[in-house]
């Protein structure tokens, strides 16, 4: 959403590995220290190099219903870190795995949109319940750059999910943070914000949507982006690994 090593199985009965929680400045200091360690650099060099990018409408992964994650490992934690970095670079407040061409039920968020400020969230296998009230708010999307519209969403929701350590998340969210979570969960279900807009309001976005589609299809025609069937077929590699 735009502004305005050792693996384990993830299930409700799992006991997550005992890993100390690091956040904020402590995590950044430890990360800098770790990355300068020659042993870490040697191990990191063995991981496959993968550079995540935000994909744009009408990439088919944006309409893919993400699969629940059953396994978390160092590779997935690295992906989450990269997603946060991408989100900040794009000046967003949330980013779903679909938006970086991954078919996994995971998203990251920080309602401030500022690295080092506010609270970062990495949310795995979210489920929504107990929606209450409704309010209108303007939303945009990093996969639909430049387009915004008013969307009606609940004022408050109950979220059930996991963090990357397998710890359960059970909390009630309200206001803007609830909106951010719902926007990202929509992504995981293959739903885009304009799908929730009224017909007349959505028509106002048609020119921008058509422009994005023309650009995407022209790149497919020149071979710089594979055909849709190939893009969808390669998602199986990720679902086989983590789902």
Name the residues annotated as catalytic.
Answer: 184
Phi-psi map region of 24: left, alpha, beta (phi>0 left; psi -120 to 50 alpha): left
* Terminal-residue alpha carbon distance, the chain: 24
Q: Evaluate the omega torsion of the peptide bond into residue 58 and state whether it is cis, within 30 degrees of 0.
A: yes
Does 200 count as an annotated binding residue? no
Angle among Cα 116, 121, 127 to the nearest 5 degrees reads 165
- Burial group, residue 209, by CB count within 10 angstroms (0-12, 13-18, 19+): middle
Q: Alpha helix locations (H) across the chain?
A: 24-35, 38-44, 74-89, 175-188, 199-203, 206-222, 228-233, 236-242
The full length of the chain comes to: 243
Output DSSP code: residue 93.
Answer: S
Residues near 101 by beta carbon (within 8 Å), at least 6 away in sequence: 52, 53, 55, 59, 61, 231, 235
Q: Cα separations (Å) of 218 from 46, 68, 100, 120, 212?
A: 36, 33, 20, 37, 10
Q: What is the phi/psi pair of residue 185, to 5°?
A: -65, -35
Would you list which residues are annotated within the binding site for Fe cation?
A: 141, 183, 187
């Amino acid at each position: 959403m735009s502004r305005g090593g050792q693996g384990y199985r993830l299930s409700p009965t799992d006991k997550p590995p005992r890993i100390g929680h690091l956040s904020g400045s402590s995590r950044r200091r430890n990360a800098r220290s770790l990355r300068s360690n020659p042993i870490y650099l040697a191990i990191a060099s063995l991981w496959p190099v993968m550079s995540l990018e935000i994909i744009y409408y009408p990439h088919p992964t944006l309409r893919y219903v993400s699969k629940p994650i059953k396994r978390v490992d160092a590779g997935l934690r690295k992906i989450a870190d990269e997603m946060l970095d991408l989100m900040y670079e794009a000046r967003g407040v949330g980013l779903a795995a679909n938006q970086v061409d991954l078919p996994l039920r995971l998203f990251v968020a920080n309602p401030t949109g500022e690295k080092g400020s506010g609270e970062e969230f990495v949310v795995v296998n979210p489920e929504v319940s107990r929606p209450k009230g409704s309010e209108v708010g303007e939303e945009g999307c990093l996969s639909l750059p430049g387009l915004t519209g008013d969307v009606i969403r609940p004022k408050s929701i109950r979220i059930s999910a996991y963090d990357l350590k397998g710890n359960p998340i059970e909390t009630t969210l309200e206001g803007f943070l609830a909106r951010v979570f719902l926007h990202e969960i929509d992504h995981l279900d293959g739903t885009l914000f304009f799908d929730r807009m009224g017909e007349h309001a959505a028509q106002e976005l048609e020119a921008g949507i058509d422009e994005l589609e023309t650009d995407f299809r022209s790149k497919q025609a020149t071979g710089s982006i594979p055909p849709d069937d190939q893009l969808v077929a390669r998602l199986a590699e990720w679902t086989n690994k983590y789902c």
